[in-house]
Amino acid sequence: MSVRPSAKAERFTESVIREMTRLAHLHGAVNLSQGFPDFPAPEEVKEAARRAVASDINQYAITWGARSLRQAIARKFERLYGLPVDPEREVTVTCGSTEAMIATLLAVLDPGDEVVVFEPFYENYGPDAILSGAVPRFVALRPPEWTFDPDELERAFSSRTRAIIVNTPNNPTGKVFTRAELETIAGLCRRHDALAVTDEIYEHILYDGAVHLPLATLPEMAGRTITINGMSKTYSVTGWRVGWAIAPPPLTNAIRKVHDFLTVGAAAPLQEAGALALELPAAYYEELARAYDRRRRRLLGILDGAGFDVYRPRGAYYVMVDTDRLGWDDDVAFARHLVEEVGVAVVPGSSFYRDPASGRRQVRFAFCKKEETLAEAEKRLARLRPRPRA
């Protein structure tokens, strides 16, 4: 029958995160679901975009990214982490890190290859694996610290393993992978000749002295790691869709080809603004982290007061909570109740697990929001009462 979608497209559902934002609009709820800032982007970054449009940077950039932005990406990585990056042969600019991830997986995975994914995981990685024909092998991150069992990780690797996806600082848990954990991962990648695909989009959003360590900087890892990042979270411009992948030249060639036929290129004037943004001084990133720490403490206080058991994040801008103490063990029903009756939108925990049952007592709150937004959420959450158990 001709109106039948592909088997691939049938194997995953629409994004729950994006759906929750639509429901937030529908019910006039405070949106603490999708992770985008509701405060303005830095003035100088916006001004750079305006200037680029006015000076007629309005046609296609080079497919794999404007040279100015690729150079800024390479310089910043070397400045922060001491690893040289060749902007001509190792950087691909994409439409957001979302495209960087799918373009990378399409470029490096063959159908039947296995890809190791820590769970809970950012929901895109599931459909990304399906679209690239790969078979995901999940390894649990266990609360409260969201640590993994090294033996379980070792068992997930086999001769079929082509890659592992590592997201640090982590969405949704707020975990920041430690050096020891990253060394364990690197050891397995070397032993099994596997690639590492790292999503480091929250690299500057760190708390309590946590340090971000790119997996690519560990011994023998630069040659087998694809480092994904973007402007969205660091410069509060999630709608610009400017991301990138740093990878060794043979992989960059493949990623550039896939990227070219997926999207041709990211918005040219916004890439120019990116070139300026990536040269902002260290003080910008320090203030970004401090401001997020204030929001984090504020939301943790609100959630604790509302009766949740909270998992304190050490990075990124989400808080996972356990709803058991409030008498809820159905995350989807609870999220519906919150958005419809209480007026606060969150993401049901099950969207971050392969087996929905694993997330049934969890929901995720985002705190990349203005003080007024959090204050309004506090007012509304004060109406939440523990539910009598059946």
Q: Rule CB under 6 A: which residues touch ligand GLN?
A: 17-18, 34-35, 98, 122, 171
Let me know: does 109 contact 163? Beta carbons within 8 Å: yes
Distance between CA 346 and CA 343 in Å, rounded? 10
**Residue whose CB is less far from ligand GLN, 20 or 216:** 20
Work out how close the CB of 238 gets to ligand GLN at its nearest, in angstroms, rounded to a whole number.
7
**Residue whose CB is less far from ligand GLN, 171 or 198:** 171
Work out how close the CB of 241 gets to ligand GLN at its nearest, in angstroms, rounded to a whole number.
9
Contacts 24+ apart (CB under 8 A), 289-292: 289/204, 289/205, 289/206, 289/207, 292/205, 292/207, 292/317, 292/367, 292/368
**Residue whose CB is less far from ligand GLN, 61 or 95:** 95
DSSP H or E run through 371 = helix 371-381
**Residue whose CB is less far from ligand GLN, 37 or 65:** 37
**Residue whose CB is less far from ligand GLN, 163 or 201:** 201
**Residue whose CB is less far from ligand GLN, 18 or 297:** 18
- Which residue type occupies 100? A
Helices 268-277 and 67-81 cross at an angle (nearest 10°) of 30
Q: How far is CA 183 from CA 38, 157, 207, 218, 225, in A?
A: 37, 15, 22, 7, 13
Work out how close the CB of 215 gets to ligand GLN at its nearest, in angstroms, rounded to a whole number.
20
Work out how close the CB of 14 gets to ligand GLN at its nearest, in angstroms, rounded to a whole number.
11
Work out how close the CB of 269 gets to ligand GLN at its nearest, in angstroms, rounded to a whole number.
21
Work out how close the CB of 389 gets to ligand GLN at its nearest, in angstroms, rounded to a whole number.
31
Distance between CA 204 and CA 80 in Å, rounded? 11
Report the residue number whose CB is nearest to ligand GLN: 35
Q: Is 278 exposed, middle or buried (0-12, 13-18, 19+ CB in 10 A)?
A: buried
